[in-house]
Amino acid sequence: MGGGYAPKHGRYAPRSRLLFPFLGSSMVAQSLRSGAEVYEDWLTSTSLYSWQQGWGGHIARPEKGVATYTLSPNRQRLFPNFWHTAIFNTFRRFRHQVLYVAPPFIVAYSLMDWAVERNEYLNSKAGRAEAGDE
């Protein structure tokens, strides 16, 4: 008497001797079953699926101590105080950031304005006369 473990299904189970295991042993019994049942039987008879037991199967142990909380859809408020919050929050954010953003833009605008005016002057008749190009 052997003391070994001989699984009836799973990775190390003996393979079916039928040519098409999803057809079963009799075609009459097979014709009474739905296509989904036939596919499920075929899928569970393959070695990979029976070893894995579907997606995730017994490869990883179930997690313990995980609490999940949800809020009922009829209790959710999608946009509570949307307009009030949008107006005042935008003003608050603008007020806090304006001193970081405005001075560099003012300096850059002043520099560009000076450069354009200086370029126009140097390319005018008076500017060329000053530079001695005429």
Q: Is the pTM of this model over 0.75?
A: no
CA–CA distance, 50 with 43 (Å, rounded to integer): 8
Mean pLDDT, range 73-97, rounded to an integer: 87
Mean pLDDT, range 93-122, rounded to an integer: 96
More confident: 53 or 37: 37
Task: Provide the pLDDT for residue 126.
Answer: 92
More confident: 73 or 42: 73
User: From the centroid of its chain, how far is CA 86?
Assistant: 27
Question: What Cα–Cα distance (Å) separates residue 8 from each residue in 5, 40, 42?
Answer: 10, 18, 16
> pLDDT tier at 96 (50, 70, 90 boundaries)?
very high
Task: Provide the pLDDT for residue 49.
Answer: 47
Task: Provide the pLDDT for residue 66.
Answer: 81
